[in-house]
């Protein structure tokens, strides 16, 4: 993960526009513990690319899968556990991504609505350079 990907950059109005949600919805998700944006010294919310990624997953789980917020919280926890497991497997197999287990974990992450925005951007950059 690049440092920039976790750097808080977007104020709530920009973040809301990026994920096509109302700013009040983002505040609600923060109150529910689904998202934890950074705060400035003036208490202004700042969202990172990682936060945007998570908000897109929340939106997918609510709108496309019909989960309530408790279900979303569980799906987010499962996503985190699957990501950790995938990283451990990739480390143990020296980064070979062709592992059938890693492929199955990727399918599971997709089912949970997780899209690795950093990987998408890297793929776009690679195809732009072709």
Q: What is the pLDDT of residue 121?
A: 66
Q: DSSP letters along the chain, please?
A: --HHHHS--B-HHHHHHHHT--HHHHHHHHHTTS---EE-TT--EEB-HHHHHHHHHHHHHHHTT---HHHHHHHHHHHHHHHHHHHHHHHHTTT-TT-HHHHHHHHHHHHTT---HHHHHHHHHHHH--
What confidence tens digit (pLDDT) does each residue in 61-101 have? Answer: 999 999 999 999 999 999 999 999 998 988 888 766 567 88
Top-tier CATH class for 3-115: mainly alpha
Where do the structural domains in the chain lie, given as residue ranges?
3-115
Q: What is the pLDDT of residue 65?
A: 95
Q: What is the pLDDT of residue 92?
A: 86
């Amino acid at each position: 993960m690049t440092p920039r990907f976790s750097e808080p950059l977007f104020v709530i109005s920009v973040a809301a526009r990026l994920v096509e949600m109302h700013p009040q919805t983002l505040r609600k998700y923060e109150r529910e513990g689904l998202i934890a944006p950074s705060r400035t010294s003036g208490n202004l919310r700042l969202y990172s690319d990682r936060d945007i990624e998570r908000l897109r997953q929340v939106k997918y789980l609510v709108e496309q899968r019909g989960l309530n917020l408790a279900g979303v919280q569980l799906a987010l926890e499962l996503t985190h556990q699957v990501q950790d497991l995938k990283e451990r497997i990739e480390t143990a197999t020296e980064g070979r991504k062709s592992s059938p287990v890693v492929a199955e974990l990727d399918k599971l992450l997709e089912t949970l609505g997780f899209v690795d925005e950093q990987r998408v951007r890297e793929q776009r950059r690679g195809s732009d350079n072709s």
